[in-house]
Each structure stands twice: as structure tokens, then as C-alpha cells.
Amino acid sequence: MKPIRKAIFPVAGLGTRFLPATKAMPKEMLPVVDRPLIQHVVDEARQAGIEHFIFVTGRNKGVIEDHFDRQFELEATLKDRKKKADLTLLQQDLPGPGSTSFTRQQEPLGLGHAVWCARELVGDEPFALLLPDVLVQHETGCLAQMIAAASEVGGRSNVIAVEEVPHERVDQYGVVGIGAKRGKMFTITEMVEKPPRDQAPSNLTITGRYILQPEIFNILAEGKRGAGNEIQLTDAMVELAKKQPFYGLKFEGKSFDCGSKVGFLAANVAYALQRPDIAPAFREELKKLLG
């Protein structure tokens, strides 16, 4: 497979599940410990070797663009106050000049439509897609694991991160059918978006990390509506799977669905417990709270 250099981050969603917190602030800027959700996901992409970060934004998302820009006043103040550690932190988080692009999804027509909005910025090469609602906690990030696995299959293949969920919850996700084993991955035999529980091909669900071939854009261009009258990415992948292989990777690590309040709070606890500067005191507080 050609190297994966570009990643798409769809960040146009309204974040209604977190109102009123998200009334004036994008949900992608909600902090998990002291880093915005979107920063965690960009960190994962950088660790995987991504060079260009493409954000599909919408109205009221300008602050995401500011977050990935330099903040001269703040830098000057930190320098004056000799806050070297804070300054280094700010600088190391910043993608290099020219390595970010922002485009807008003008209407909320679904994930497939958001991805299609990035077509000109991606061009004719395979790309990664990371949904910022999902965080995966592991030393080797989920996307890095996928790129390593993808390098073993080569050609025009597509790779999707999958995980097991309890059967009662399969109707909340894209679900895949399991075929023959292929190295660390398996061949995906079918994909279906939010199936009724009794029609799900398995309890392995699509986890918000994808490596896709650019041919997906031609299919998305048709603008066919699916579940919820939205242009569904999963439907376009079903079409593409008629011509190209799709593989599933059961990644290592724990995932958090930060699109839900409980998942978001759990992520905060889990990430705080991994931080040497916070964990000891935080553990004591948690013990007190839990009695």
C-alpha cells in the first residue's frame, strides 16, 4: 500500500449531547484531563506518521483552527515568566507550518458527506479517517497499529478498526461480518450501519478509525442517502467492497466513546490515572468519592 500521509478529522457535528457545554464551544474542544479531545486524536495521527491534518469543520468551529495555530502573546508572556515547560508543551503540540487544512461541511448531511468534503485536499492517495468522538488508550495508538497491519496486505486495500461490544449495543454502530484471517487482520465479508440487533452479522463494530482508498470519493459523490436520510460512509464502503478488499483489525487498547457523557467521563478518569503528575492525588480523591 502507498504510504498514508494524510488524515481527515470530521469536526462539524453540533454536539447536542453535551449541551449546554457545547452551546458556544465545539465538543471537540472539551478537555480530557488538560488536552482537548481533538488534540488527543491529532496526537494519535502524528504518532502514526501522518503529515497532513485535514479538518472538516462547520459554523462555530473557528476555535479549533485557533487551537492549532501559534499564540504569540501567550508565548511571549510564558517566555517573560520563564515558564519553559509550558512553552515547550505548546510548541510540541503544534503541527508544522502548512501541515493543516480546514474545509467546511456546509450542511449536516452525514459522515459520508463530511468525508467527501475533503476530497480535493486528499487527492488520489489512500488516507486515514479519525472520528474525534473515539479515543483509544494504548502505548501504540490505534492508527499506528492499523498502518503497521496494512503494510502487510498492500495494494488497494482498506482497513477498519473494530472491537467487540455487548450484543445489546450493536444497533448503535456500524457492524462487520467476519471472514478469513489475514495476518493480524481478517477479511470483512459485509458491513451494515446500525442494524437491528437480530440482523447484525456479528458483535464486532466499527470504531472510528479507517484507512480508505481514494476511490471512496467517487462513490460518495453520488450522494445516495441511507439511514437517517444521511449520506452514510458505511454505505459507500459497502459499494467499494465490491471492488476492493476490506480488512478488520481488532486493535489493542481500551476505547472510549466520548460522544456519550459516561464514555467521556470514563476517558477523563482513565487518562488522569495514566498521568504520573496527577495520578497519585487523583487516586486518593477517587477513593474518597467511591467510599
Contact residues for ligand G1P, defined by CB under 6 A: 111, 131, 133-134, 173-174, 193, 205-208, 233-234, 259
Report the distance separating Cα 248 and Cα 217, nearest Å.
21
Nearest to ligand G1P of 78, 246 (CB atom): 246
Nearest to ligand G1P of 78, 233 (CB atom): 233
Shortest distance (Å) from residue 149 CB to ligand G1P: 19
- In 3-state terms, what secondary structure has residue 153? helix
Q: Cβ(202)–Cβ(149) under 8 Å?
A: no
Shortest distance (Å) from residue 283 CB to ligand G1P: 29
Diameter of the chain measured on Cα atoms: 63
Residue nearest ligand G1P, Cβ-based: 174
Shortest distance (Å) from residue 256 CB to ligand G1P: 11
Nearest to ligand G1P of 57, 78 (CB atom): 57
Report the distance separating Cα 46 and Cα 6, nearest Å.
10
Nearest to ligand G1P of 48, 206 (CB atom): 206
What are the CA-CA distances from residue 144 to residues 55, 65, 74, 216 (Å)? 19, 25, 32, 22
Q: Which helix (H) or strand (E) holds 55?
A: strand 52-57
Shortest distance (Å) from residue 272 CB to ligand G1P: 23
